[in-house]
Amino acid sequence: MLENHVLDHLSEEPHLFREIMLTYQALLNVFTRKVGMTSARLALLRLLALRAPEMLGVMEASRRLGVNAAAVVRQVKEMERERLVERLADAKDRRRSYVKLTDQGLKAFETVHERAHEFEKMICGPAGAEEVMTAVRVLAQVRSAIETLG
C-alpha cells in the first residue's frame, strides 16, 4: 500500500519539474525533425557563429555549453567531416585544438537558426508574448537555483 505522501504526488496537483521534463522530451522528439539539426549541434554552431571569425578552444566550448568535452570533440569531428568547421591543433600543446566555422558552416547555421526561430514561433504562438516572457523568467530562475546546487 502506498503511503499518504506518495498518494499526494499522484494527484492532479501541478508539478513544475514533471511538466518541464515532459515538455523537454516532447521538444527533443520534434526539434530535430522540424529544424533539421539536433539542438546540441545547433548550440555549438551558435557558439561558433558568435565568435566568428575568431577560433574557439574545444575546452572553452565545452565549458560554455555545459557539456562533456568528449561530446564536443565528437560533434566537432562530425562537423569537420561535413566541412562545417575547421579545426587547428595548438602549436605549443598538440592535445589542445581550436575550432572555427567555415563559410559553409556559417551558411548552415544561418539557415538552421532561422528554422529554429520559426519553430519557436509556431509552438509558442498560442501562448502569447507575455506568457512566453513569464515562462522564460521562471525557467531562468529555476535554472539559476539548480546551478547554485551544482
Contact 98/57 with Cβ under 8 angstroms? yes
Domains and CATH numbers, the chain: 16-149 (1.10.10.10)
pLDDT at 52 over 80: yes
Q: What is the pLDDT of residues 59-111, one digit of tens each?
A: 999 999 999 999 999 999 999 999 999 999 888 887 788 999 999 999 999 99
- What pLDDT sits at residue 60? 94
Angstrom distance (rounded) from CA 68 to CA 71: 5
Write the burial class of residue 79 (CB in 10 Å: 0-12 exposed, 13-18 middle, 19+ buried).
Answer: buried
Say if pTM beats, i.e. exceeds, 0.85: no
